[in-house]
């Protein structure tokens, strides 16, 4: 079946504007994760959704970042009042469930965000 898809693949925005990034997980996967990869910073965790449980937001860097997951499937990551330091590749991953062999995380191709 299809893998994790993300849109847009590239986004260029001006400082201060809001952006929305979309993730479509693998069908049937209940767990969804957002990470970002910055130059020189490596990959860092942002937020995690598991089924209907409250999300783990411990990785969000500021209150300008938020995410939601509607209907247990598609997720949107929103960055308000973007700053230049938000420039990065935002990666989404999904897994069948949390724990055990079903916890293998599969990554989408990412959205490259550039804030001018």
Query: Does the protein bind another protein through residue 80 (CB under 8 A)?
Result: no
Pair 21, 76: CB distance under 8 Å: yes
Query: Does the protein bind another protein through residue 82 (CB under 8 A)?
Result: no
Pairing assessment for the beta strands 31-38 and 65-69 based on DSSP bridges = unpaired
CB of 85 to another protein, least distance (A): 19
Contacts with another protein in 50-69 (CB under 8 A)? 50, 56, 58-59
Contacts with another protein in 32-51 (CB under 8 A)? 33, 35, 37, 42-45, 48, 50
Smaller CB separation from another protein, 72 or 109: 109
Query: Does the protein bind another protein through residue 91 (CB under 8 A)?
Result: yes
Longest CA pairwise span in the chain (Å): 42
Give the binding site for another protein (CB under 8 A). 33, 35, 37, 42-45, 48, 50, 56, 58-59, 89, 91, 93, 98-101, 103-107, 109-110, 112
């Amino acid at each position: 079946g299809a893998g994790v898809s993300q849109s847009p693949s590239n986004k260029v925005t001006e400082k201060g504007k809001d952006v929305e990034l979309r993730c479509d997980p693998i069908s049937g996967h209940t767990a969804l994760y957002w990470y970002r990869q910055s130059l020189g910073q490596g990959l860092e965790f942002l937020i995690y959704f598991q089924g209907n449980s409250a999300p783990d937001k411990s990785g969000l860097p500021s209150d300008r970042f938020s995410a939601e997951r509607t209907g247990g499937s598609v997720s949107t990551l929103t960055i308000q009042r973007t700053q230049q330091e938000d420039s990065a590749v935002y990666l989404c991953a999904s897994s069948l469930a949390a724990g055990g062999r079903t916890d293998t995380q599969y990554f989408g191709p990412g959205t490259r965000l550039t804030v001018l």
